[in-house]
Amino acid sequence: MAFWRVLQVLRRSVPRAAAYPRTVDLSRPCVRAMSAGGIPTDEEQATGLERKVLDALKKGEDPFNIRKPKTYPGTKDNPHVVPSVNKQRIVGCICEEDNSQIIWFWAHEGQVNRCPQCGAHYKLVPYELPH
Ligand SMILES: [Zn+2]
């Protein structure tokens, strides 16, 4: 009697197992977007400040200086740009690429600012913080 019961249970479970195959169909792309019922992406779930930053980055803006700053050769015609909310700012110059020493000096708005050791030019540019 017990053996007959086991066969009944097995017979019922076979159609269920066929309805949910365990193999992964690699021909279909993996869809994880929230619209497809998957995990939401950062753009789909971001709110508040994170949303503002993502929207600004889409427009090509960088209001919170997230991206790496643009580099300049540091010549008189093309000086290093130093953004500042004040009229002066302390600048640190690593004169050569593999130097471990930083040369600190003041850069002033409207003046020619040069590193006292290597002579690289720096230009102070007014910068407003985003509100
Ligand atoms: Zn220098």
> Among candidates 128, 122, 94, 95, which has minimal Cα distance to 109?
122
What pLDDT does 94 receive? 93
- N-term to C-term CA, the chain: 79
Q: 117 CA to middle of ligand 1, Å?
A: 5
Q: 77 CA to middle of ligand 1, Å?
A: 17
| Residue ranges, the chain, pLDDT below 70 | 1-35, 130-131
Q: 87 CA to middle of ligand 1, Å?
A: 21
Strand, helix or coil at 91? strand
CA-CA distance, 103 to 122, in Å (whole number)? 13
What pLDDT does 62 receive? 81
Q: Phi and psi at residue 2, in whole multiples of 5°?
A: -65, -40
51-86 pLDDT, tens digit each: 988 898 899 888 777 778 788 899 999 999 998 999
The answer to whether 105 and 96 have CB atoms below 8 angstroms apart is no
- Widest distance between CA atoms in the chain: 100
Q: 101 CA to middle of ligand 1, Å?
A: 10
pTM: 0.54
CA-CA distance, 64 to 60, in Å (whole number)? 12
CA-CA distance, 17 to 37, in Å (whole number)? 23
CA-CA distance, 95 to 113, in Å (whole number)? 14
